[in-house]
Structure 1
Amino acid sequence: MVKKRTIDARTVTFYNLEGGIRTLAQVRDITDVKKLEAEKSLYERRLSELNNYAIKLNAAEDLKTLFRLTLDAMEKILGFEYASIFLVEGNNLRMVAQRGYPEPPRLVLPLDGQMGIVVRAVRTARSVNVPDVRIDPAYVKTKDGMLSELAVPMKVGNKVLGVLNVESYRLNAFTENDRKLLEVLASQTAVAISNIKRRENLAAINAFGRSIIKVKSINEILEKTLDTMQELLGFEKVDIFLVEGDKLKLVAARELAQASKFELDLREDAGITVKAVKERMPVYVPDIRKEKAYVKCGSETMLSELAVPIKLGNNVLGVLNVESDKVEAFDEDDVKKLEILASNLAVAISNIRRQESLAQLSKKLEYLVKSCIHIMQVKNMRDQLKAIARSAQNLGWNNATVILFDENLKVKEAATAGPAEDHVTPFSDEKFPGRLWKELLDYKFDRFKFGGFYYLPWSDPVVRDYIGQVSPDISSRLEDVLKSHVNDLLYAPLRTREGKIIGVMTIEVPSGIKPADESFIPLELLVHYAVIAIENAELIEGLEKARKELKEYAGQLEKKVEERTRTIIEFQDKLLKAQRLAAIGELASMIGHDLRNPLTGISNAAYYIKRRLAKAGFLDEQITGMLNVIERDIMYSNKIINDLLDYSKELRLELTETDPRKIVEEALSSVEIPANIQVVNMTNHDVKFIADFEKMKRIFINLIKNAVDAMPNGGTLTIQSRKKEENVEFMVSDTGVGMPKEVLGRLWSPLVTTKAKGMGFGLAICKRFVDAHEGAISVESIPGRGTTFTLTFPIKPKKEEGGENFWLKKRESLLLTTTKT
């Protein structure tokens, strides 16, 4: 077969040495050169047409128009017969337009699969030219007879948006120039697609901004935001965080396994979203595997993350966050889209919060007016302070305390409303002296001042250091008072119009949550009303006090006459009683002296008679019995004399340390207990107390003898002891005959007895000895069932100055002693 060639011939005519004319000819085959020139010319013409065509591409209003124009360029300018356009949609690559194929585009290829030349172009982000598709296992047939394929990615920066793909019936159909031209067109189309999507995104964001104007719920706004992020902006895994105090809380999410109860601490460095809040700017992490701050929330396959702060001015309200299971999944356009969306969202959230805040403020002011009327009507100061504190609590504050000071800023009165109202708060306690309040209200703490209030975040170490520097004297004191106080302190002085501080209102604020300025408005009004109400209450109390004083003074003259008359009468009674006491004392002394002499003689005579009769052998049983009667009566008469003297003389206590068991055992050993009486001694040695052992023993001897006398037919005597607070208590119980009520009423008076024999001094002496020990004695008795005496003694009685002994002066009356029973 003869091939046509292109020849370049050139001739030169010249004379030779002999003078003859000669011609020299040069012939070259320039077929290949001409072909290259033609290809270059075609490439330059097509490149120029593409550059001019870019204007049309950028003018396309929508993707459908853009795809048509792109296919026109691929067919008419570049001469490709079979062309198609693929777009990346999530994890798939979908054919969206084609030219030359018999059927409409339906091909969808997974990007994580192995099939598709176009998929390879996306994953490598490079053009792929396959000269012979028959030997490439990744080839996906779209039309019978295709032999070669060229796939060129459409990229904006490093982000692949899709693929321009061409095929041919010829082997090795596509040249290097074809690749370059298709790459130029792919770049132009990618820019146009990006612009169209940007316009669509902006339109969607603007529509979102208009749609949330009338929304009244933050939750509804969050749901609309997630819809916009997913459906309109194309993000798959989306979530929204909001700032709450020192926490960043997840409040809404889509496509996340742990979409609830997830929060991050803003005081720490964990979390890309936390970093966005702290830096107040978007944070993009192309590969989270290289980021230490990343915190997993949900899926295990996430590889990249973009966090954009929701800002209003310099105030960060939260974060819009998107994640992807691809590395480098986001670009600058994504950042801009989310920034615009976050800006709209910040305005919407702020407006709703403002509306909610105004509504709450309106309700609080309405409540404040009613509560102030109630406060003004309360007359009792403590009740009024309680009403003020409760009003502060109902305005939304916990543990509100109103403290009233005296002239030295010491706590005079305080009332608390809230969870701690039944307890003394650290600031109303007497341990928090006025000097500390004086410091806390000083100019040195003006840096913590907000309007009329001071906000002292005690949990902040910086604040503690500052207090230690400006007020070293109170720093350690505050540490002690607030050791168990975890909340921050909000306080305001109650200052009169003259500038005098009459008290302070304190409120506990959860640690780290700084109150908003508008929340102080009703509270500042309450403080103002509180000062007026307290001043009015003090004025009313002063007027009431003056009225009472005048009323008292008006009747004072008459009362003074009555009082003086009564005083004279009482003095005369006391004088008579004292004289009677002195007379009884002298009488007792004389009787004791005059009776003991003959009793001694009788006793000696009886003793002598008994010995002589016994020696002479005349002492029979009858005579012995009579002499024994004489001796017993002498002893009994002597006891009466001793009781009378003991009752009338001045007492002196000889104090020693003893215990209940020892006293009772000594007393029991001194009394003859009949065989038909069972004694139960339940006292112990555990309690030590100070007492006059002998007089205590005398008390219990008398009580035990009385109990024995009350059980002539036998019974049970029970003696118990126990420690009761700072006292020791005894109980002496019998199961005897008991005593009627009329006897109980005068039981402690002398000369009162229920027995046929005796003067009745026993219990009166017991009463004197108990009183001398600063103790108490009482009795309970039921006729026929028994009697119980209860005695209480201080473990450590008071001592008089100047010595270790206790003295008890004579009573003014020996005959008018009464005790409650």
Structure 2
Amino acid sequence: VVIAARRGEPIIIPDVRKEKAYVEAKEGMLSELAVPMKAGNKVVGVINVESGKLAAFNEGDRKLLEILASHAAIAISNLQKRESIAEVNAYGRSLVNAKSLKEVINLTLNAATKILGFKHVSIMLIEDNKLKLVASRGVDKQVKLELPLNGEKGVTVKAAKSGNTIYIPDVQNEPLYVQGGVLDAKSELAVPIKIGNKVLGVLNVESRKSEAFDEDDVKKLEILATYVAIAISNIKRRESLVLLSRRLEYLIRSSAKIMQTPSLRKRLRIIVKAVQKFGWRKVAVCIRDEASEKRILVTAGLTKEEKGLPASKGIPREAWDELLSQEFEAYRMGDFYHIPWNNPWIMKYIYGGKLIQGYDADWMIAPLHTPNGKIIGFISLREPISGKMPTREELIPLELFLRHAAVAIENAKLIEDLKRTSIELENYAEKLEQKVEERTKTILEVQDKLLKAQRLAVIGELAGMVGHDLRNPLTSISAATYYLKKRLTQTDEKIKSMIELIEKNIAYANKIVSDLLDYSRELKLDLTETTPKKLIEESLSLTEIPANIRLINAVKSTIKIVVDQEKMKRVFINLIRNAIDAMPNGGTLTIRCREKGDEVIFTVSDTGIGMNEEVLRNLWSPLFTTKAKGMGFGLPICKRFVEAHGGSISVKSTLGKGTTFTIKVPVTPRIKKEKGGDRLWVEMPESSLSMTMKASEKP
């Protein structure tokens, strides 16, 4: 029976005693007839008859038994088919309920080997445009097999690309055949694992026999492959739903986080991170700040090199309208636009440099628009984590999020505008308050100055009147004193000292009158040429320096200057006398001079008692004095004389250390001369705080 089953042919043994392969089943048997039960080329069993007679069976018996074996084979085959298909269906239900891809693979290998009876089984799945071996059973060795789908090798690749079952009866004559883990394979059957028209992988079986598989094997393997495809698809769908659920949850959390963040840039960072978590490696958001007319760009996932590319600077504002034009309508997917890298028109129109430079792969863009249709910016997405561009349905959650994000961005811009406006208003109010304070202070100062000017004007007018009225009696008294001094040649010392006292007080009274007149009337500058050295030497010659005062005259400059010599000598004499008065116990008087640009700078320093802040503050005011005698006109007159030349006078003093006066005089007075001469008058204004000068003709 074994030989009959192996050969697939009937065998008649006339005398079993002469047959070495005979296996005795019953004593006394002398002849045997074994007929294989065959369904097609497949032997399902053997019908065997024996007899106690020699040569008991002839050709007629063989033919009759072959007919019976054929019917039995068909019946058995049908029954086996039903049973195996039922078992495959039962396994299929288990596959559909599998929780993981690993469980699907194990159940599939079990079904193929234990139920369907295939000895060498392998499962290959499509990943990254390659057909990868993920599991196998009954192989001679474990191999790592990856076949490119665009390649020309592999029976399994052909099945995956065509989506049809491929049966190779003899692989030795097949150029596509690629040896895997089965050595000496003779035949191969590759069934695509597909759901609809989408191929997920290949279920592959091999045999060491040629023509080892029939239509029944093909049908059973196709049924199993269908269940595998459904199971894998269900798992991927469940995984996709779980992933989508997580992403939606993250989008919802991000939406809440956006509303809690007032900063525009921080909101943009939350948006790009949320979109990145939705399945994109590289995301960029570009909006336009209407206040500053500048673009605000926030990115995620870009490398340092990519950040330097022009494309990473955001979509230019001039490209916005073009990207939303009718020309791009064919690339629209809902709110998004899919810009394919390998499209010739896109390559020329966009990547060629007309709009954007720097991209080297497919990308997607979407305008960010508010509910009223206002476009505030664009978001661009590149390199999906899944390796493939999403479908329209997969983009819907992202569209809803981006619409919410656009409103959040616009709100953030409004918040920042309000903050900026509020700060500007606060600054304006603060500046306005400051200006009001300054104006109020200025008005008060002006009022004070006006009152002071009016008072000084009255004083000046009164001083002029008093000066003129006193000058005549003083002249008479002076003449009378001179007459008495000449007539009384022989008088006692008492009368002589009284006359000298009268003369001294007449001179002092005359000085007061001169100061009053000099301060109140218009100044007349009689400009002549001299040198700083000569000016100081002449001033010193008119001043008596006490013995306890050390004089340092460091003025060596011989530069030619044009000044009213008498008035300038009066300035220096006044300052020298004040310095001497400030050093009652002796000290050092230092006079220096230096040239700077078109100015000559004099300094008169003493080591006297110095002045406090109050004295310094009122130093230039008329009628202010710290001396027992005097009207307080000396320094104000000095100031008038120096400023009349277009110069300036200032003072620095430290109590207990001394005082330094600094006089700056231009080489030539900074006065606009009129035709008619060099003699100048300085008008006495209503206030002594400013002076104007005019040229006058020579008398």
Q: What TM-score bracket applies, with the shorter chain setting the length? A: 0.5 to 0.7
Give the match for residue 417 of structure 2: 542
Query: 2-side partners of 1:256 and 1:592: how far apart?
Result: 116
What whole-Å deviation, never above 9, does each CA across 1:691-721 have from its counterpart, x for those lacking one? xxxxxxxxxxxxxxxxxxxxxxxxxxxxxxx
SS at match of 1:360: helix
SS at match of 1:477: coil
Give the match for residue 769 of structure 1: none
Give the match for residue 474 of structure 1: 350
Query: 1-side partners of 2:317 and 2:256: how far apart?
Result: 31
Deviation of residue 319 (structure 1)? 2.3
Give the match for residue 465 of structure 1: 344
User: Are the counterparts in 2 of residues 426 and 482 from structure 1 also a CA contact under 8 Å?
Assistant: yes
**Structure 1 residues 214 and 430, CA, compared in 2 at 3 Å: closer, same or farther?**
closer
2:201 is aligned, of 308, 318, 326, to 318
Query: 1-side partners of 2:354 and 2:29: how far apart?
Result: 87
1:391 is aligned, of 259, 262, 274, to 274
1:501 is aligned, of 353, 375, 392, to 375
Bigger-Rg structure (1/2): 2
Give the match for residue 50 of structure 1: none
SS at match of 1:354: helix
Counterpart amino acid of residue 136 in structure 2: A
What whole-Å deviation, never above 9, does each CA across 1:78-127 have from its counterpart, x for those lacking one? xxxxxx6xxxxxxxxxxxxxxxxxxxxxxxxxxxxxxx5325514xxx44
1:382-781 alignment to 2 at 5 Å?
382-405=265-288, 412-418=295-301, 420=303, 424=307, 428-430=311-313, 433-435=316-318, 438-458=321-341, 463-468=342-347, 472-477=348-353, 481-482=357-358, 485=360, 487-510=361-384, 513-516=388-391, 519-557=394-432
**Structure 1 residues 168 and 371, CA, compared in 2 at 3 Å: closer, same or farther?**
same
Query: 1-side partners of 2:58 and 2:406: how far apart?
Result: 93
Deviation of residue 372 (structure 1)? 0.9
**Structure 1 residues 421 and 392, CA, compared in 2 at 3 Å: closer, same or farther?**
farther
Give the match for residue 248 of structure 2: 365
Give the match for residue 180 of structure 2: 297
Deviation of residue 150 (structure 1)? 4.4
Counterpart amino acid of residue 121 in structure 1: R
- The reply to whether residue 254 of structure 1 matches residue 140 of structure 2 is no
**Structure 1 residues 547 and 406, CA, compared in 2 at 3 Å: closer, same or farther?**
closer
User: Are the counterparts in 1 of residues 123 and 135 from structure 2 also a CA contact under 8 Å?
Assistant: yes
* Structure 1 unmatched ranges of 5 or more: 1-83, 85-115, 566-585, 596-643, 650-821
**Structure 1 residues 435 and 145, CA, compared in 2 at 3 Å: closer, same or farther?**
farther
User: Are the counterparts in 2 of residues 411 and 434 from structure 1 also a CA contact under 8 Å?
Assistant: no
SS at match of 1:539: helix
Query: 2-side partners of 1:283 and 1:401: how far apart?
Result: 47
Give the match for residue 3 of structure 2: 117
Give the match for residue 227 of structure 2: 344
Deviation of residue 431 (structure 1)? 8.2
Counterpart amino acid of residue 204 in structure 1: E
Counterpart amino acid of residue 364 in structure 2: L
Query: 2-side partners of 1:411 and 1:321: how far apart?
Result: 61
Query: 2-side partners of 1:531 and 1:320: how far apart?
Result: 48
**Structure 1 residues 398 and 185, CA, compared in 2 at 3 Å: closer, same or farther?**
same
SS at match of 2:176: coil
Deviation of residue 558 (structure 1)? 5.4
Query: 2-side partners of 1:436 and 1:295: how far apart?
Result: 52
SS at match of 2:400: helix
Query: 2-side partners of 1:592 and 1:142: how far apart?
Result: 154
SS at match of 2:352: helix
What whole-Å deviation, never above 9, does each CA across 1:716-761 have from its counterpart, x for those lacking one? xxxxxxxxxxxxxxxxxxxxxxxxxxxxxxxxxxxxxxxxxxxxxx
- The reply to whether residue 276 of structure 1 matches residue 162 of structure 2 is no
Query: 1-side partners of 2:54 and 2:6: how far apart?
Result: 20
**Structure 1 residues 427 and 397, CA, compared in 2 at 3 Å: closer, same or farther?**
farther
Counterpart amino acid of residue 520 in structure 1: L
User: Are the counterparts in 2 of residues 152 and 179 from structure 1 also a CA contact under 8 Å?
Assistant: yes
Query: 1-side partners of 2:314 and 2:275: how far apart?
Result: 24
SS at match of 2:272: helix
Query: 1-side partners of 2:322 and 2:206: how far apart?
Result: 52
Identity %: 47
User: Are the counterparts in 2 of residues 399 and 420 from structure 1 also a CA contact under 8 Å?
Assistant: no
Aligned residue pairs total: 452
User: Are the counterparts in 2 of residues 148 and 171 from structure 1 also a CA contact under 8 Å?
Assistant: yes
SS at match of 2:153: coil
- The reply to whether residue 380 of structure 1 matches residue 263 of structure 2 is yes
User: Are the counterparts in 2 of residues 411 and 430 from structure 1 also a CA contact under 8 Å?
Assistant: no
Deviation of residue 537 (structure 1)? 0.9
* Structure 2 unmatched ranges of 5 or more: 441-530, 533-554, 560-593, 599-699
User: Are the counterparts in 1 of residues 140 and 181 from structure 2 also a CA contact under 8 Å?
Assistant: yes
What whole-Å deviation, never above 9, does each CA across 1:252-292 have from its counterpart, x for those lacking one? 32123565753332233432222222222222222222322
Give the match for residue 287 of structure 1: 170
Q: Which has the higher contact order (CA 8 A, sep 6+)?
A: 2
User: Are the counterparts in 1 of residues 167 and 190 from structure 2 also a CA contact under 8 Å?
Assistant: yes
1:203 is aligned, of 73, 86, 91, to 86
Deviation of residue 200 (structure 1)? 0.7
Query: 2-side partners of 1:170 and 1:437: how far apart?
Result: 102
Counterpart amino acid of residue 476 in structure 1: G
**Structure 1 residues 425 and 301, CA, compared in 2 at 3 Å: closer, same or farther?**
farther
Query: 2-side partners of 1:488 and 1:446: how far apart?
Result: 16
Counterpart amino acid of residue 118 in structure 1: A
**Structure 1 residues 539 and 128, CA, compared in 2 at 3 Å: closer, same or farther?**
same
User: Are the counterparts in 2 of residues 129 and 149 from structure 1 also a CA contact under 8 Å?
Assistant: yes
Query: 1-side partners of 2:34 and 2:417: how far apart?
Result: 99
Deviation of residue 309 (structure 1)? 2.1
User: Are the counterparts in 2 of residues 411 and 429 from structure 1 also a CA contact under 8 Å?
Assistant: no
User: Are the counterparts in 2 of residues 121 and 151 from structure 1 also a CA contact under 8 Å?
Assistant: no
What whole-Å deviation, never above 9, does each CA across 1:5-28 have from its counterpart, x for those lacking one? xxxxxxxxxxxxxxxxxxxxxxxx
**Structure 1 residues 150 and 488, CA, compared in 2 at 3 Å: closer, same or farther?**
farther
What whole-Å deviation, never above 9, does each CA across 1:281-337 have from its counterpart, x for those lacking one? 222222222322222221222222222222222222322222211111111111221
Counterpart amino acid of residue 530 in structure 1: A
Counterpart amino acid of residue 161 in structure 1: V
User: Are the counterparts in 2 of residues 159 and 329 from structure 1 also a CA contact under 8 Å?
Assistant: no
**Structure 1 residues 518 and 216, CA, compared in 2 at 3 Å: closer, same or farther?**
farther
Counterpart amino acid of residue 276 in structure 1: A
Query: 2-side partners of 1:526 and 1:418: how far apart?
Result: 20
User: Are the counterparts in 2 of residues 251 and 260 from structure 1 also a CA contact under 8 Å?
Assistant: no
Give the match for residue 153 of structure 1: 36
What whole-Å deviation, never above 9, does each CA across 1:227-270 have from its counterpart, x for those lacking one? 11111111121122233342333233212356575333223343
**Structure 1 residues 444 and 145, CA, compared in 2 at 3 Å: closer, same or farther?**
farther
**Structure 1 residues 455 and 338, CA, compared in 2 at 3 Å: closer, same or farther?**
farther
User: Are the counterparts in 1 of residues 126 and 201 from structure 2 also a CA contact under 8 Å?
Assistant: yes
Query: 1-side partners of 2:392 and 2:54: how far apart?
Result: 77
**Structure 1 residues 361 and 370, CA, compared in 2 at 3 Å: closer, same or farther?**
same
Counterpart amino acid of residue 216 in structure 1: K
Alpha-carbon RMSD across the aligned residues, in angstroms, is: 4.1
Deviation of residue 388 (structure 1)? 0.7
SS at match of 1:555: helix
- The reply to whether residue 189 of structure 1 matches residue 63 of structure 2 is no
1:781-800 alignment to 2 at 5 Å?
none
SS at match of 2:175: coil
**Structure 1 residues 560 and 293, CA, compared in 2 at 3 Å: closer, same or farther?**
farther
